[in-house]
């Protein structure tokens, strides 16, 4: 007789995970992206250490070093200088990182949760529920994000919470669509029929079978979205719909810099620190997350495609 060897294979999930990690490691862009993201995360977490707040005040309000509108260049007291109204730029940037993360994470997580609920309902129960929910998402998606967010923010009134809420309302449809698509695809596969046949409850099917498979595209989308959300939030702040002046928010800081890009007659770049520094931080933050999201998408692509 011929010999039979029983080979113990690793569980498929572990294999997939290792595969993904290796692909991420091999991609230089992802390393750079990861480095940038880690850098910003550290800053956000260490904000109270890096830029100690003044006791008794809201830490997100930037301390002022005077009232003159003319920005002052970097000095030992203000490492990045001050911007219009003598707000300390360094403090604003550091705590602005926290603001950026707050908005980014809040909006993305909330959108995902809402998206999962609505997408699951639509995809699982189909029929009328699906139609209605999908029409709603279609209409919201018919608008450019910034414009709809603007309209909502104006209606809510300016403020950080206002733009957060506006962004959540604008962002969830994309996730709902994604989840619904995955649901439709997976529930049409045979193993779900089989599970139903042996009597698995709906809930169990959703949790054990559908969600784990839908995770990958969701992760990719979320990581790519953090950058977009923060960008859009900054744009809204720039327009004055965000937190009030003096709040540690990058968009706010950039809008304060608008009057100073011309500089003085002698030196056109006299106030460079005012518009260069906040912009660079915002840009790097977004780029870091975009690179990471991109790398994740490339790495998870065979898994997404394989289906």
Residues that bind other proteins (CB under 8 A): 2, 19, 23, 29, 135, 138-140, 142-144, 146-148, 150-158, 227, 231, 234-235, 238-241, 254, 257-258, 261-263, 268-269, 272, 275-276, 279, 282-283, 286-287, 290-291, 294, 302
- Nearer CB in complex with other proteins: 101/124: 101
The least CB distance from residue 20 to other proteins, in Å, is: 11
Rounded to a whole number of angstroms, the minimum distance from the CB of residue 220 to other proteins is 14
Dihedrals φ, ψ of 230, to 5°? -65, -40
Shorter beta-carbon distance to other proteins: residue 17 or 46: 17
| Interatomic CA distance for residues 186 and 211, integer angstroms | 10
Which one, of 55, 92, 41, 89, lies nearest residue 248 by Cα?
92
| Beta bridge pairs of residue 83 | 87
Q: Are 274 and 264 in contact (CB under 8 A)?
A: no
Shorter beta-carbon distance to other proteins: residue 210 or 241: 241
Cα four-point dihedral sign 85, 89, 95, 101:
positive
Nearer to other proteins, 108 or 205 (CB): 108
Helices 272-306 and 211-238 cross at an angle (nearest 10°) of: 160
**Between 116 and 286, CB nearer to other proteins:** 286
Cα separation, 286 vs 307, in Å, equals 30
Least distance in Å: CB of 142 to other proteins? Answer: 6
Compute and round to an integer the Cα radius of gyration of the chain: 24
Pairwise CA distance, residues 137 & 152, whole Å: 16
Output the smallest distance, CB 5 to other proteins, in A.
9
Count CB atoms within 10 A of the CB of residue 125.
13
Q: Where are the beta strands (DSSP E) in the chain?
A: 82-83, 87-88
SS3 61: strand
Q: Are 140 and 170 in contact (CB under 8 A)?
A: yes
Tell me the closest approach of the beta carbon of residue 176 to other proteins, in angstroms. Answer: 15
Q: Taking the complex as a whole, how short is the minimal distance between the CB of residue 152 and other proteins, in angstroms?
A: 6
Shortest distance (Å) from residue 285 CB to other proteins:
9
Please identify, using beta-carbon distances, which residue of 124 and 275 lies nearer to other proteins. Answer: 275
Q: Which is nearer to other proteins, 7 or 198 (CB)?
A: 7
The number of C-alpha atoms within 13 Å of 176 and in the hemisphere containing its C-beta is 26
Q: Which residue, 55 or 267, is less far from other proteins as judged by CB?
A: 267
The least CB distance from residue 129 to other proteins, in Å, is 17
Closest residue by Cα to residue 77 from 55, 85, 69, 87: 87
């Amino acid at each position: 007789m011929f010999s039979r060897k029983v080979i113990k294979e690793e569980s498929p999930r572990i294999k997939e995970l290792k595969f993904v990690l290796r692909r991420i490691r091999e991609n230089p862009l992802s390393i750079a992206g990861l480095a940038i993201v880690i850098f910003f995360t550290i800053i956000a977490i260490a904000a109270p250490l890096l830029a100690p707040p003044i006791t008794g005040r809201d830490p997100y309000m930037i301390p002022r070093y005077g009232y003159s509108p003319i920005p002052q260049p970097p000095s030992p007291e203000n490492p990045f200088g001050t911007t219009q109204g003598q707000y300390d730029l360094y403090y604003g940037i550091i705590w602005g990182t926290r603001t950026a993360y707050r908005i980014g994470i809040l909006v993305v997580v909330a959108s995902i949760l809402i998206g999962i609920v609505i997408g699951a309902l639509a995809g699982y129960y189909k029929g009328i529920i699906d139609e209605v929910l999908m029409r709603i998402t279609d209409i919201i998606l018919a608008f450019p994000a910034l414009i709809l967010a603007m309209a909502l923010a104006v209606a809510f009134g300016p403020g950080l919470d206002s733009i957060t809420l506006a962004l959540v309302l604008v962002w969830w449809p994309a996730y709902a669509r994604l989840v619904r698509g995955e649901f439709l695809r997976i529930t049409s596969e045979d193993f779900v029929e089989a599970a139903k046949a042996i009597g698995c409850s709906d809930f169990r099917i959703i949790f054990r079978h559908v969600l784990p498979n839908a995770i990958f595209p969701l992760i990719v989308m979320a990581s790519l979205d953090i950058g977009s959300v923060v960008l859009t939030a900054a744009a809204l702040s720039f327009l004055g719909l965000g937190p009030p002046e003096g709040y540690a928010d990058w968009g706010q800081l950039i809008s304060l810099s608008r009057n100073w890009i011309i500089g003085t007659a002698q030196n056109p770049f006299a106030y460079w620190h005012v518009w260069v520094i906040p912009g660079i931080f915002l840009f790097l933050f977004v780029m870091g997350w975009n690179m990471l999201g991109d790398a994740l998408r490339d790495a998870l692509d065979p898994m997404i495609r394989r289906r």
